[in-house]
Chain A
Amino acid sequence: GAVVSQHPSRVICKSGTSVKIECRSLDFQATTMFWYRQFPKQSLMLMATSNEGSKATYEQGVEKDKFLINHASLTLSTLTVTSAHPEDSSFYICSARRPLGDTQYFGPGTRLTVL
């Protein structure tokens, strides 16, 4: 199998605080992990690509300093939303790809609500 987990599944925070979301590949090593954002009833928007041991590559329009991504091991990537504001409220989904793999396996997502 190829199982990807995310933690937490839901988080509510106050405006101005930072929130960390973890993405783990449970039964395989993931050279590459991806972070997506999904607004209600919309498609997934790729935010960044995370490669183990190197800096993340951000998509155009995504603020690097606001969405900090760390991929410190082959099974864990984290997304930190810094100084969160209500407009950052969204569904954040990660995915992982095996080395030389051609398929992304998705986590269950994290619902972030910023009050």
Chain B
Amino acid sequence: AQSVTQPDIHITVSEGASLELRCNYSYGATPYLFWYVQSPGQGLQLLLKYFSGDTLVQGIKGFEAEFKRSQSSFNLRKPSVHWSDAAEYFCAVARMDSSYKLIFGSGTRLLVRP
């Protein structure tokens, strides 16, 4: 069965520090992977996605993620966090059948210290 695990419920970093949010997936075939960000009371905004090709993916707002098949991971990184990055981050894997359903991880809440 497909699943996504985000092992960190909360992460707190200081503004200007680097960030890495972990995501592990379980999927039988080549996964289609996504990172979304959700600000309080808002819908989800797509940060980046991986389908194939270069395993280091660049996204919006200075985020990047690296797909590592050997570790079944798709960790999200940012070299320098801004206070506005405080939000909930969701990793997701898509079922690439006709449904295109997304399976979400449980989310990681990022808190940014001034």
Task: Indicate whether A111 reaches chain B with its CB closer than 8 angstroms.
Answer: yes
The interface residues of chain A lying within 8 Å CB-to-CB of B106 are: 42-43
Task: Give residues 34-57 of A contacting B (CB, 8 Å).
Answer: 34, 41-44, 46, 49, 57
In the complex, what residue of chain B is closest to A2 when comparing beta carbons? B46
Task: Tell me which of A11-19, A67-75, A77-85, A102-110 binds B.
Answer: A102-110
Task: Indicate whether B70 reaches chain A with its CB closer than 8 angstroms.
Answer: no
The interface residues of chain B lying within 8 Å CB-to-CB of A43 are: 90, 104-107
Chain B contact residue count (CB 8 A cutoff): 23
Chain A contact residue count (CB 8 A cutoff): 24
In the complex, A93→B43 CA distance in Å? 7
Minimal beta-carbon separation of B26 from chain A (angstroms): 16
The interface residues of chain B lying within 8 Å CB-to-CB of A111 are: 41
Contact A97:B36 (CB < 8 A) given known A102-B94, A106-B43, A106-B45: no
Contact A104:B43 (CB < 8 A) given known A43-B90, A43-B107, A44-B90: no
Q: Flag if A108 contacts B102 (CB, 8 Å).
A: no
Task: Give residues 4-46 of B contacting A (CB, 8 Å).
Answer: 32, 34, 36, 41-46
Q: Flag if A109 contacts B32 (CB, 8 Å).
A: no
Q: Flag if B100 contacts A109 (CB, 8 Å).
A: no
In the complex, A102→B45 CA distance in Å? 15
Q: Flag if B49 contacts A103 (CB, 8 Å).
A: yes
B101 in complex: contacting residue of A6, A46, A103, CB < 8 Å:
A46
Q: Flag if A109 contacts B43 (CB, 8 Å).
A: yes
Q: Flag if A106 contacts B41 (CB, 8 Å).
A: no
In the complex, A108→B39 CA distance in Å? 10
Task: Give residues 77-112 of B contacting A (CB, 8 Å).
Answer: 90, 94, 96, 99-102, 104-107, 109
In the complex, what residue of chain A is closest to B4 when comparing beta carbons? A43
B51 in complex: contacting residue of A4, A34, A102, CB < 8 Å:
A102
Task: Indicate whether A32 reaches chain B with its CB closer than 8 angstroms.
Answer: yes
Measuring CB to CB, which residues of chain B are less than 8 angstroms from any residue of chain A? 32, 34, 36, 41-46, 49, 51, 90, 94, 96, 99-102, 104-107, 109
Measuring CB to CB, which residues of chain A are less than 8 angstroms from any residue of chain B? 4, 6, 32, 34, 41-44, 46, 49, 57, 91, 93, 95, 97, 102-109, 111
